[in-house]
Amino acid sequence: MKLTIPNILTFIRVLLIPLFVAVIYFPDPWMHASDSGLLAAVIFIVAAITDAFDGFLARKLNQSTAFGAFLDPVADKLMVMAALIVLVDLQRISSVLALIIIGREITISALREWMAQIGKSANIAVSTLGKVKTSAQMVAIPFLLYNQVLFNFIPCHLIGTLCLVMAALLTLISMFYYLRVAVKVGF
């Protein structure tokens, strides 16, 4: 494994996952719930920013590696899945929303693996719809982790919930898109 700047950023993102999970569960004597929610949201945002930069830097610095291509999407999925499970546990989102998003990620990961095995991985590349879905998730989750009224007028729970519902809808649409592509190439 070649240690590159993009790979280091991906490793940092993986290490931030247990940190934001732990922070959200800090007991009140350690940190007030609104403060731990804010800190967890900030950690999640930092992790999401590393996701944006690692791919950009890999291309810009010509430091793309097979290991980075593998670990980057795994880190993204772990980050989102961990956050969704925490949010269900805290009763901030419906388990149905989490199951839709997590189920789609598992299904599409398996589909991509199968497509790679039959030499058709180019047919199932990330679509614009998938990118919009990911963006909606990355906006929703910090709002839901914080879960307070921000600046006395921004309803974080409402905004986060609306963005996550949009992400779940886009998740279903993109999953059907990917499955339709798979059927066309020989499912």
Exposure string for 78-111, b = 16+ CB within 10 A, e = fewer: bbbbbbbebbbeeebbeeebbebbbebbeebeeb
Cα gap 25→32, rounded to integer Å: 10
Which pLDDT does position 165 carry in this prediction? 97
Judged against a pLDDT cut of 90, whether residue 120 lies above it is answered with no
The CATH number of residue 72's host domain is 1.20.120.1760
Cα gap 132→114, rounded to integer Å: 24
Single-letter amino acid code for the residue at 89? D
Determine the 3-state secondary structure of 28 from DSSP: coil
Q: Which residues contact 153 (CB under 8 A, 6 or more apart)?
A: none
Which residue range(s) make up the domain with 23?
Answer: 5-184
The total domain count for the chain is: 1
Q: Which residues contact 10 (CB under 8 A, 6 or more apart)?
A: 50, 54, 68, 71, 72, 75
pTM of the predicted protein model: 0.90
Cα gap 114→165, rounded to integer Å: 29
The answer to whether the beta carbons of residues 175 and 107 sit under 8 Å apart is yes
Q: What percent of the chain has pLDDT over 90?
A: 56
94-115 confidence digits (pLDDT tens): 999 999 999 999 988 888 888 7
